[in-house]
Structure 1
Amino acid sequence: MASNLEALEDWAGVLLSRLEPGERSKLARTIGQELRRSQQKRVVAQRNPDGSKFAPRKQRNLRGKQGRIRRKLAMFRKLRTASYLKVRGDSNAVTVGFTGRIARIARVHQYGLKDRAERGAPDVRYEQREVLGFTDADLDLIRDGLIDHLSS
């Protein structure tokens, strides 16, 4: 995957150097939004970039007060929204990622780190779930977006 990304970078670098900074910014924002949509769809499907499923949540006691059973909800339901998954694009770079407290939560899951579920709780090692990452389809999306922009 890294070699595919480097090959795309080498190929696109020559083409991007011919564009004006304003055009590169416009292209960066467009590609960034498409990448965000792609990442959101992958998170909704609960898939890692390599196509494998996210590691399941640990079992918990789902009974709350007076015998009610809480529904099991998909992981990262709010994380995938545009208000948390930010896109920044300028004439030099495109970034799709999280900021603030949400970035810390996403990083813990992305790399499978230790964290506390709540204040005063013991440290727990989380399973690795790659919330952000490139798939082959994402690399094709970047290439096609660049070709479409240059041809118009």
Structure 2
Amino acid sequence: MADKLEALETWAAGLLEKLQPAARNQLARSIGQELRRSQQKRVQTQLNPDGSKFAPRKKRDLRGKQGRIQRKAEMFKKLRTATYMKARGDSNAVTVSFTGRIAKIARVHQFGLKDRAERNAPDVNYEQRELLGFTDADIDLIRDGLLAHIKIDN
């Protein structure tokens, strides 16, 4: 995957140098938004960039009050919204990242780190669930976006 990304970067460098800074900004913003949508869909389907499923949640007792069963909560439902997953682009880079304190939660899951679920709770080792990452489709999306933008300018 890294080889494909490096090959795309070298291929695109020559084309991007010919664009004006304003056009590069516009291109970076549009590619960033498309990448964010792609990442949101992948997180919704709960797949890692390599196509494997996310590690399942730990089993919990879903009975709250007597006689009520809560519906199964979807993992990372709020995390993938545009409020928390931001796409930024300028003439030099495109970034898709998480903001605020949500970034810490995302980092713990991205790398499978140890954290506390709440204050004074014991440390828990979280399974690795890659929330952000490049798939082959994402690299194709970047290449196609760049080609479409260059066709419009010419």
Q: Mark yes or no: TM-score above 0.5.
A: yes
**Counterpart position of 1:118:** 118
TM-score, with length taken from structure 2: 0.97
Task: Give the Cα–Cα distance (whole angstroms) in 1 for the partners of residues 44 and 30 of structure 2.
Answer: 21
- Structure 1's unaligned 5+ residue stretches are none
Q: Aligned partners of 2:67, 2:87: CA distance in 1, in Å?
A: 43
Aligned to 1:129: 129
What is the Cα deviation at residue 99 of structure 1?
Answer: 1.3
The whole-number CA distance in structure 2 between the counterparts of 1:110 and 1:65 is 33
2:33 corresponds to 1:39: no
Specify the alignment match of 2:4 in structure 1: 4
Give the Cα–Cα distance (whole angstroms) in 2 for the partners of residues 66 and 19 of structure 1: 64
| SS across alignment from 2:101 | helix
SS of structure 2 residue aligned to 1:46: coil
Counterpart position of 1:18:
18
Give, in angstroms, the shift of residue 74 of structure 1: 1.3
Query: How many residues matched?
Result: 152
Deviation at 1:65, TM superposition (A): 1.9
Shift in Å at residue 56 of structure 1? 0.2
| AA of the residue aligned to 2:55 | A
Deviations along 1:109-141, one digit per CA (max 9) or x if unpaired, are 000000001111000000000000000000000
TM-score, normalised to structure 1's length?
A: 0.98
CA distance in 2, matches of 1:62, 1:119: 21
* 1:87 paired residue number: 87
2:30 corresponds in structure 1 to 30
The alignment yields a C-alpha RMSD, in angstroms, of 0.7
Cα drift, residue 68 of structure 1 = 1.6
Task: Tell me the percent identity.
Answer: 76
